[in-house]
């Protein structure tokens, strides 16, 4: 989709787009990390993150409290114990083009104020899942997945079954956290899928999914039977440093008994990095395991320390991704799926074709404008070529994900092929399907009357981040939704299921096919266990458009109880104090507020919400504390020459401590840090009576002196 250039966005557009991007990224995170079922391609995901970062860079004041730039991955799935990482597990910034690698090197040198060449390591980016291994006194004591970067899943028993992971180490630091990637080789993946298919079990779409599914088994015996491998490439907490450089640290891990990637080399500067990138890319097909790019890291660990981190990625590393894979095939038909919020999504049915080793027969066509050859602002894409059934189309797949139709070849267009007419009515319930101003998506207006929306809403309701009811997944929802004797049409019906079943002497659930005494009782018990639910989960589970997991958390922490939340949303129409309060929540914009208010005013929705609330005990949620530092919450301005660090380094450090760094002095400024040569800003600060200190005073204040 072509988007308006960030430079041209108005502030209001930027605010709205940041909200939209935040939701899209949060949804993609949940699909990928928590559910192991990605919904968008890696390339699309990267594009969302990048646009979000670009808008934030242009409008720093609009950066949201729940900005995706500050988050890594998604919350952990239930079932495993939780492990708080002592050193956060970070993600990597991505580069796609060669000039972005040069820019990365420029940025590093500028940040450090470094004129000469910087050395980097270059190594393959393994397409698996990251794992942190904690050794104390040479013994493996804990293994944890990344989770959201702060808290991961405890998979120690499972990790112990992986042959590449040593159980004991000789000569290691007393505390050593080794980080690396768990992956599955192509040969092992193919054999595993064959065994799975032969025994009638589910097969995996690709080696990454197979590795993730195998590591995250509650029964470690299953993991033991799966051929997982591990490459070490990084570390977390250490009682003593491993070495002075990245390269030597990796050698040290190798000497301790870890597998490290043999394609790791040392490069001086971007040119050598690109040479190694092409070398690795040329070997990609014969490596025997999936990689999706090359990672460059500043070699000198002292420089890494000075460069530090942005909110979720280090400044000293970048992932240079490989381009996506392509193939051509015939478009056999277009189906329209109706989603939870009524969105009509066109899906391409394709003559099956192999794209990067995976057979693809469905791909997304995004929306009606995309099919017609326009972006949502009416500008041409694919030089304006529309997509017709029977066309020869290019399918595009990046990594692990739903493929897309990228282009078409008009030379193969069949005579008499007609432009595709996008339905104006919902194919499921016949209600009119409308497009709102500025929205590229056409939506069914049937709300809960539409069976497709109602059933998708229920599936969302029982999904992991929401009520997560054991034994009640998408499949069971489909079944109960259509059921004549024990129907489940709205969430409240889930909580009356047991009572309705016991009131019906004839057709008991336990006598149904697929159920028995035990499984029926189990289902009733797992439903009962969720009758008491935290407020944030409840809000998220309502499936209100624009209200994702992050927003639900913000709302829950703000209102704290269901009663307060419900009263506020019921009263909040524009102009009321409740509306002002709702939209003042950092991270809640007008669009989300409007969507909440509409849901609570719609009769059918409101009825469903009230009926549900009457069934539940809602646990209040506590507000979260802020960063604890002497400068947290202060607005700071730096001016003049700083002698002990570059401006960028000073700003980054201040922000890490919870301060806001502004470019100019105003009545809102709390502190001016003035070096030699400070001019007009110092005068202005003096005029306004703003507190002024010098660089040493600043370092003392933040405890870095
Ligand atoms: S370094 C602080 N090196 O890519 C940086 N990561 O997109 C730590 N990954 O979460 C990561 N191969 O799971 C690093 N050679 C490599 C990698 C690698 C794969 C994964 C890792 C990370 C993700 C970021």
3-state helix/strand/coil string of 240-293: CCCCCEHHHHHHHHHHCCCCCCCCCEEEECHHHHHHHHHHHHHHHHHCCCCEEE
Distance of alpha carbon 622 from alpha carbon 459, whole angstroms: 28
Instruction: Please give the number of the atom of ligand 1 that sits closest to the Cα of 124.
Output: 15
234 ligand 1 Cβ < 6 A: yes
149 CB under 6 A from ligand 1?
no
Burial of 413 (0-12, 13-18, 19+ CB in 10 A): middle
Which residue spans of the chain are classified as CATH 3.40.50.10190?
635-701
Q: Which two tokens mark 133?
A: 């291994």
Residues of each domain in the chain carrying CATH 1.10.287.610: 1-71
Q: By alpha-carbon position, which residue is closest to atom 6 of ligand 1?
A: 125
CATH number of 635-701: 3.40.50.10190
Selecting among 4, 63, 82, 125, the annotated active-site residue is 125
Could you tell me the pTM of the whole model?
0.57
E-strand ranges in 582-639 read 617-619, 635-639
> For atom 18 of ligand 1, which residue has the closest CA?
125
Residue located nearest, by CA, to atom 22 of ligand 1: 91
* DSSP per-residue string spanning 148-213: TSSEEEB-HHHHTT-TTS-SB-SS--SEEEEEEEEE--HHHHHHHHHHHHHTTPPPPSSHHHHHHH
According to CATH, the topology of domain 534-619 is: DNA polymerase; domain 1 (1.10.150)
Going from the Cα of 226 to the center of ligand 1, the distance in angstroms, rounded, reads 22
Query: What is the model's pLDDT at position 1?
Result: 44
User: Cβ(314) to ligand 1 under 6 A?
Assistant: yes
Give distance in angstroms: CA of 233 to centre of ligand 1. Answer: 8
* Cα–Cα distance, 372 to 361 (Å, whole number): 21
State the distance between the two ends of the chain, measured CA to CA, in whole angstroms.
Answer: 49
Q: Looking at domain 88-321, which CATH architecture does it have?
A: 2-Layer Sandwich (3.30)
Question: Which residues, given as ranges, of the chain have pLDDT below 50?
Answer: 1
Q: Looking at domain 324-445, does it have CATH number 3.90.1300.10?
A: no
* Pairing state between β 660-662 and 635-639: parallel
Distance CA 622, CA 388 (A): 53
Describe the crossing of helices 590-601 and 11-29 by its angle, rounded to 10 degrees. Answer: 70
Which residues are 534's β-sheet partners? 619
- Ligand 1 site, residue 181, Cβ cutoff 6 A: yes
Active-site residue, 683 included? no
Q: Is 123 in the pocket of ligand 1 (CB under 6 A)?
A: yes
pLDDT tens digits, 636-680:
999 988 888 888 888 888 877 878 788 888 888 899 999 888 888
Tell me how far the alpha carbon of residue 6 lies from the centroid of ligand 1, in angstroms: 29
312 CB less than 6 Å from ligand 1? no
| Angle of the 603-613 helix axis to the 590-601 helix axis, nearest 10 | 80
Residue range(s) occupied by CATH 2.40.50.140 in the chain: 324-445
For ligand 1, atom 17, the nearest C-alpha belongs to: 125
**Residues 282-337 pLDDT 10s:** 998 899 999 999 999 999 999 999 999 887 899 999 999 988 778 899 999 999 99
Whether ligand 1 lies within 6 angstroms of the CB of 145 is answered as no
Contact 408, 393 (CB under 8 A): yes
Count the helix, strand and coil residues of the chain and give each as a percent rounded to the nearest 5. 40, 20, 40
Distances (CA, A) of 476 to 404, 429, 481, 522, 598: 29, 22, 8, 14, 30
CATH code 1.10.150.20 region(s) in the chain: 534-619
Superfamily designation of domain 1-71: Helix hairpin bin (1.10.287.610)
Round to whole Å and give the CA distance between 587 and 62.
9
Contacts for 220 with CB less than 8 Å, ≥ 6 apart: 157, 158, 160, 161
Q: Please tell me the distance between residue 92's alpha carbon and the centre of ligand 1 in angstroms.
A: 6
Give the residue, out of 29, 125, 309, with the most ligand 1 atoms within 8 A of its beta carbon, to mutate for a pocket test.
125
| Cα of 133 from ligand 1 centre, angstroms | 15
């Amino acid at each position: 989709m072509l988007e308006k250039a960030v430079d041209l966005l108005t502030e209001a557009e930027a605010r709205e787009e940041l909200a939209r991007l935040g939701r899209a990224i949060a949804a993609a995170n949940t699909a990928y990390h928590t559910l192991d079922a990605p919904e968008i391609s890696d390339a699309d995901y990267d594009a969302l993150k990048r646009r979000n970062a670009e808008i934030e860079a242009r409008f720093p004041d609009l950066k949201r409290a729940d900005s995706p730039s500050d988050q890594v991955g998604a919350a952990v799935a239930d079932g495993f114990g939780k492990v708080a990482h002592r050193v956060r597990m970070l993600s990597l910034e991505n580069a796609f083009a060669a000039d972005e690698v040069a820019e990365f090197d420029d940025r590093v040198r500028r940040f450090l104020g470094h004129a000469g060449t910087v050395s980097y390591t270059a190594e393959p980016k393994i397409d698996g899942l990251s794992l942190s291994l904690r050794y104390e006194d040479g013994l493996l004591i804990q293994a944890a997945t990344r989770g959201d970067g702060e808290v991961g899943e405890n998979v120690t028993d499972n990790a112990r079954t992986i042959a590449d992971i040593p159980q004991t180490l000789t000569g290691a630091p007393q505390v050593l956290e080794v980080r690396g990637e768990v992956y599955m080789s192509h040969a092992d993946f193919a054999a595993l899928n064959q065994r799975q298919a032969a025994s009638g079990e589910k097969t995996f779409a690709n080696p990454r999914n197979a590795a993730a599914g195998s590591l995250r088994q509650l029964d470690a015996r299953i993991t033991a039977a799966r051929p997982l491998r591990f490459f070490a490439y990084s570390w977390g907490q250490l009682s003593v440093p491993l070495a002075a450089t990245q390269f030597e640290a990796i050698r040290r891990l190798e000497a301790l008994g870890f597998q490290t990637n043999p394609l790791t080399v040392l490069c001086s500067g971007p040119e050598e990095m690109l040479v190694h990138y092409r070398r690795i890319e040329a070997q990609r097909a014969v490596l025997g395991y999936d990689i999706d790019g090359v990672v460059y890291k500043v070699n000198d660990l002292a420089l890494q320390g000075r460069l530090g981190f942005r909110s979720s990625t280090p400044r000293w590393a970048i992932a240079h991704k490989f381009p996506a894979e392509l193939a051509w095939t015939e478009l056999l038909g277009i189906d329209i799926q109706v989603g939870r919020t009524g969105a009509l999504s066109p899906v391409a049915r394709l003559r099956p074709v192999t794209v990067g080793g995976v057979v693809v027969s469905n791909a997304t066509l995004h929306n009606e404008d995309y099919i017609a050859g326009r972006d949502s602002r009416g500008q041409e894409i694919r030089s304006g070529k529309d997509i017709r059934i029977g066309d020869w189309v290019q399918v595009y797949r990046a990594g692990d994900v739903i493929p897309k139709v990228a282009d078409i070849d008009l030379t193969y267009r069949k005579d008499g092929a007609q432009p595709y007419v996008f339905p104006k009515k919902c194919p499921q319930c016949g209600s009119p399907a409308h497009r709102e101003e500025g929205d590229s998506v056409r939506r069914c207006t049937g709300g809960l009357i539409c069976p497709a929306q109602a059933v998708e809403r229920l599936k969302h309701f029982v999904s992991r981040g929401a009520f997560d009811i054991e034994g009640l997944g998408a499949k069971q929802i489909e079944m109960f939704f259509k059921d004549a004797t024990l129907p489940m049409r709205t969430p409240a019906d889930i909580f009356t299921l047991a009572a309705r079943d016991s009131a019906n002497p004839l057709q008991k659930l336990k006598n149904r096919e697929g159920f028995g005494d035990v499984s029926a009782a189990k289902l009733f018990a797992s439903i009962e266990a969720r009758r008491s639910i935290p407020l944030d989960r409840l809000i998220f589970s309502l499936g209100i458009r624009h209200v994702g997991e992050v927003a639900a958390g913000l709302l829950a922490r703000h209102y704290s109880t269901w009663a307060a939340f419900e009263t506020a949303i019921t009263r909040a129409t524009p102009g009321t104090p409740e509306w002002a309060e709702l939209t003042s929540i950092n991270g809640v914009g007008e669009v989300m507020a409007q969507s909440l208010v509409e849901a609570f005013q719609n009769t059918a929705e409101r009825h469903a919400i009230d009926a549900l609330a009457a069934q539940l005990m809602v646990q209040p949620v506590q507000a979260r504390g802020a960063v604890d530092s002497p400068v947290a919450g202060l607005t700071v301005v730096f001016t003049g020459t700083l002698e002990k660090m570059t401006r960028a380094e000073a700003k980054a450090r201040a922000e890490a401590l919870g301060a806001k760094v502004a470019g100019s002095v105003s009545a809102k400024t709390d502190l001016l840090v003035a070096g030699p040569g400070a001019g007009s800003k110092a005068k202005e600060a003096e005029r306004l009576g703003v507190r002024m200190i010098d660089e040493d005073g600043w370092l003392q204040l933040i405890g870095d002196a």
